[in-house]
Amino acid sequence: MTSRLGTILPAVLLTGLLVAATPGQAGDWPQFRGPNGSGVSDEKGLPVRWSAEDNIRWKAELPGRGLSCPVIVGDRIYLTACSGYQQDRLHVMCFRVRDGKKLWERQLWATGSTMCHPTTCMAAPTPVADAEGVYALFATADVAAFDPDGHLLWYRSLSRDYPGITNNVGMAASPVVLGDLLFLPLENAGNSFALAVDRRTGATRWKVDRHRDINWITPLVVAMNGKSEVLFQTSREITAYDPQTGKRLWTHEAGLSSVSSPILGGDRILVPGGDFTALKPANGSASPEVLWKSNRIKTSYPSPVYLDGRIYTLNQAGILVCSDAEDGKTLWQLRLKGPFWATPVIGDGKLYAVNEEGTTFVVDLRTEEEQKRLLAQNRIEDKFLATPAIAHRCLFLRSDKYLYCIGEE
Amino acid sequence: MTHRIAPKTIVSISLGLLVAFLVVSPASPSEANVESAIKAILAVGKEGKGATEAARALRELSRQEADVLPALLAAMDQASPEASNYLRAAVEAVADKAITQGKPLPVKQLEAFVQDHKHHPKARRLAYDLLLHVDPTLPERWLPGMLQDPSLELRRDAVAMALREAEAALASGDKDAARQKFEQAFRAARDRDQVDALAKQLKALGVSVDIAGHFGFIRDWLLVGPFDNSGGIGFAASYPPENSVDPKAEYVGKQNARLTWKPHTTADPYGVVDLNKAIGKHMGAVGYAYAVVESPEARPVEVRVGSNNAVKVWLNGQELISHEEYHHGNRMDQYIGSGMLKPGRNEVLIKICQNEQKEEWAQSWSFQLRLCDRVGTAVPVTVVKHPAERSAAGTAGEGR
- pLDDT tens by residue, A352-368: 999 999 999 999 999 99
The answer to whether A201 contacts B58, with C-beta atoms less than 8 Å apart, is: no
CA trace torsion B235, B237, B243, B244 (10° rounding) = -60
How many Cα atoms are found within 13 Å in the side-chain-facing hemisphere of A84?
23
> What residue in A sits closest to B49 (Cα-Cα)?
A203
Q: Which residue of B has its CA nearest to A103?
A: B96
> How confident is the model over B247-264, as a mean pLDDT?
95
ipTM, two decimals: 0.92
Helical (H) or strand (E) element with B313: strand B310-315
- Test B193 with A150 for CB contact under 8 angstroms: no
H-helix or E-strand spanning residue A161: helix A158-161
Residue A95 has pLDDT above 90, yes or no: yes
**A2-406 topology per CATH:** Methylamine Dehydrogenase; Chain H (2.130.10)
pLDDT at A165 over 80: yes
Binary contact (B85, A109; C-beta < 8 A): yes
* Mutation to test the B interface, candidates A104, A168, A205, most B Cβ within 10 Å: A168
Q: What is the pLDDT of residue A4?
A: 39
- Dihedral-angle region of residue A284 (phi above 0 means left; psi in -120 to 50 means alpha; beta otherwise): left
Of A142, A157, A190, the CB nearest to B325: A190
Q: Do A169 and B328 touch (CB under 8 A)?
A: yes
Return d(Cα B177, Cα B167) in angstroms, integer.
Answer: 10
Taking Cα atoms as reference points, which of A294, A287, A335, A288 lies closest to residue A311? A294
pLDDT > 90 fraction of chain A, expressed in percent and rounded: 89
- The three-class DSSP label of residue A390 is strand
Nearest CA in chain B to A112: B81
Mutant choice from B63, B328, B330 vs A, greatest count of A C-beta within 10 A: B328
- Of the pLDDT bands very low, low, confident and very high (cuts 50, 70, 90), residue A67 is very high
Alpha-carbon distance of A353 to A305, in angstroms, equals: 11
The span from the CA of A367 to the CA of B173, in Å, is 66
CB–CB contact B82 A160 (8 Å) = yes
Q: Hey, where are the domains in chain A?
A: 2-406
Residues of A in contact with B62 (CB under 8 A): 151
pLDDT for B62 equals: 94
Report pLDDT for A281. 84
What is the mean predicted confidence (pLDDT) over A227-248?
96
**Residues B283-310: tens digit of each pLDDT:** 999 999 999 999 999 999 999 999 999 9
Among the ranges given (A81-90, A204-213, B275-284, B388-397), the one the predictor scored with the smallest mean pLDDT? B388-397
Residues 104-123 of A with CB under 8 A from B: 104-109, 111, 115-117
Of residues B55, B85, B325, nearest to A153 (C-beta): B55
Residues B225-241 pLDDT 10s: 999 999 999 999 999 99
- Number of A–B residue contacts, CB under 8 Å: 94
- Tell me the residues of chain B between 8 and 67 that have a Cβ less than 8 Å away from chain A: 46-48, 51-52, 54-55, 58-59, 62
Separation of alpha carbons A301 and B359, rounded Å: 20
State yes or no: pLDDT of B13 exceeds 50.
Answer: no
Task: Tell me the nearest-neighbour CA distance from B163 into chain A, angstroms.
Answer: 16
CATH node for B215-384 = 2.60.120.380
> In sequence order, what are the residues at sequence separation of 6 or more whose Cβ sits closer than 8 angstroms to the Cβ of residue A342?
A302, A353, A354, A355, A384, A385, A386, A387, A388
How many C-beta atoms surround the C-beta of residue A2 within 10 A?
A: 6
pLDDT at B15: 45
Whether B54 sits inside 8 A of A154 (CB atoms) is yes
Q: CB A106 to CB B58 under 8 A? A: no
User: Closest to A189 (Cβ–Cβ): which among B81, B325, B334?
Assistant: B325
Whether A109 sits inside 8 A of B328 (CB atoms) is no
With an 8 Å Cβ cutoff, are A107 and B62 in contact?
Answer: no
CB contact under 8 A, A106 and B92: yes
* Distance (Å, whole) CA B301 – CA B337: 8
Whether A75 shows a pLDDT value over 90: the answer reads yes
Provide the 10 A C-beta neighbour count for residue A335. Answer: 10
Q: Do residue A157 and residue B46 have CB atoms under 8 angstroms apart?
A: yes
Contact A151 B52 (CB under 8 A): no
Q: Model confidence at A245, in pLDDT bands (50, 70, 90)? A: very high
pLDDT averaged over every residue in chain B = 91
- CB contacts of B334 in chain A (<8 Å) are 115, 168
Distance CA(B183)–CA(A357), nearest Å, equals 39
